[in-house]
Structures are given as structure tokens and as C-alpha cells.
Amino acid sequence: MRKEEADRILALLKSEGKRLTAKRALVYQVIQESESHLPAEEIYLRAKALNPNISLSTVYRTLNILKDLGLVRELHLDEEHHHYELVEGSAHYHMICSQCGKIEEFKSELVDKLAEELEKKYGFETKSIHIDFVGLCADCRNKT
């Protein structure tokens, strides 16, 4: 983790009377280093590979803290468990292949237009947006 990143997290944690421990930093690092969203179990396994002493409870507790601090986002995709990813500058959404299970990300300015439309039409003030397109990815379409 970069120094300024650690400092930012440390400041956020301190503002809530919490501490930055090695295990918390590890959970954050695992999420950060993954290319996309991970389920809690997978975060646990990857963290455990780096520090065998970490427990699943700690992973969950840390995820909730990071979520509350606004550093990590919890995704409710079409599955029974949640996925977690870093909250970063630019928002993105998901294309989920119902055949192979692959999840790809996309961005589109149409989404911002949609938010504007909801503001105008319903007076709704958007804070966050979840979009999942479920269907067939290009690979699976070609196979059939």
C-alpha cells in the first residue's frame, strides 16, 4: 500500500476511534490488488495465504468497517453472497454471463443521463447506482 493511501485510511479510522492494524491493511490490500470484486470467502483465502492467522470474522468485521468508511463497496449481484470492491474515482457496472459466469465491467455516459432523467422526473437524488446486465458474453455466443 502506498504511504499516502495508508495515511488516508489511518486518518479515516482514527476519526472513528479505530486502529489501523496489519490485518485490516491486509484485507484492504487484497481487495485493492484484485482486478475486480471478490466475495468475502475469497478475500479471506487470499489474506490467509499472506497471513495464516487471520480469521473469517476479522475479514467480515474489516469489510464492514471499510464499507462504513466509504472505502469499499458491497455488491449484491445475482448470487447468494456479496462481493466487495474498492470505491474508486470512476463508477462502473457489470455484465454477467449466465453461461460461463464471467463478470465484466463497463462504463457509459448513458448512466449519467439516466440519473439526470430521474432527478428531473421524480426529484430523486442519486447517491449510488447498481446496474447488472445478465446475458451471454461474446465468447459464449460464439460457441453456440
Partner DNA sequence: GTCTCTGCAAACTGTTTGCAGGTAC
Partner DNA sequence: GTACCTGCAAACAGTTTGCAGAGAC
The answer to whether 111 and 93 have CB atoms below 8 angstroms apart is: yes
Say whether residue 22 binds DNA (CB under 7 A): yes
Number of amino acids touching DNA (CB under 7 A): 26
| Phi (first) and psi of residue 7, to 5 degrees | -65, -40
Q: From the list its own copies, DNA, none, which binds 17 (C-beta under 5 to 8 Å, kind-based)? A: DNA
Determine if residue 21 is left, alpha or beta; phi over 0 gives left, psi from -120 to 50 gives alpha, anything else beta.
beta
Say whether residue 35 binds its own copies (CB under 8 A): no
Among residues 36, 61, 91, 115, which is the contact residue for DNA, using CB under 7 A?
Answer: 61
Cα separation values, 102 from 37, 52, 99, 112, 134, Å:
12, 29, 8, 25, 10
Subset of residues 101 to 140 that bind DNA, contact rule: CB under 7 A? none
The answer to whether 53 and 44 have CB atoms below 8 angstroms apart is: no
Between 98 and 126, name the residue whose CB sits nearer to DNA.
98
d(CA 127, CA 2): 28
Say whether residue 81 binds its own copies (CB under 8 A): no
| Burial class (CB within 10 angstroms; exposed 0-12, middle 13-18, buried 19+) of 80 | exposed
Q: Determine the interface stretch with its own copies among 27-35, 55-63, 84-92, 119-127 (rule: CB under 8 A).
A: 119-127
Site string for its own copies, 38-77 (x = CB under 8 A): --------------------------------------xx
User: 3-class SS at 79?
Assistant: coil
Say whether residue 30 binds DNA (CB under 7 A): no
- Binding residues vs its own copies (CB under 8 A): 76-79, 95, 98, 104, 106, 108, 110-111, 113-115, 117-118, 121-138, 141
